[in-house]
């Protein structure tokens, strides 16, 4: 796992909102390279809803078929934000299965 991923995650976990944003935007262009690690972080995180939403947004932005199972599962989640990011992520996949 590259330093970019570790650095971005460290920033996203800070209490300073600007540093959190910096971490998100640092990782955004590299999301596709780290989709498995993003999914693992999303599944492991239980306390920070905002961080989970950002991770899910990045998972969708990765546009990776490897993300499909977690995105499909979250389409029926009780959390409206998770459902929304899952739907958006599937739209970004632009495949026949995602459109279903």
Tens of pLDDT along 40-92? 999 999 999 999 999 999 999 999 999 999 999 999 999 999 999 999 999 99
- Compute φ and ψ for 75, nearest 5 degrees: -60, -25
Give the C-alpha separation, 22 to 28, whole Å: 10
Is the pLDDT at 99 greater than 60? The verdict is no
pLDDT of 98 > 90? The answer is no
pLDDT exceeds cutoff 90 at 95: no
Q: Please state the φ and ψ torsions of residue 15, each to the nearest 5 degrees.
A: -90, -10
pLDDT band at 94 (very low <50, low <70, confident <90, very high): confident
CA quadruple 39, 43, 47, 49: dihedral sign: positive
Which residues does 2 contact at the CB level (< 8 Å), separation at least 6?
Answer: 30, 33, 34
pLDDT above 80 for 100: no
Residue 67 sits at φ, ψ, to 5 deg, of -85, -15
pLDDT digits (tens, 9 = 90+) for 64-73: 999 999 999 9
Could you state, in order of their start, the residue ranges of all structural domains in the chain?
3-95
């Amino acid at each position: 796992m590259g330093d970019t991923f570790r650095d971005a995650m460290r920033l996203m976990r800070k209490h300073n909102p600007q540093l959190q944003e910096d971490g998100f935007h640092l990782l955004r262009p590299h999301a596709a390279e780290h989709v498995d690690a993003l999914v693992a972080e999303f599944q492991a995180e239980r306390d920070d809803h905002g961080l989970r939403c950002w991770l899910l947004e990045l998972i969708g932005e990765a546009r990776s078929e490897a993300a499909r199972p977690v995105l499909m599962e979250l389409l029926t989640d009780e959390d409206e934000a998770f459902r929304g990011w899952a739907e958006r992520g599937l739209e970004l996949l632009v495949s026949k299965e995602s459109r279903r």
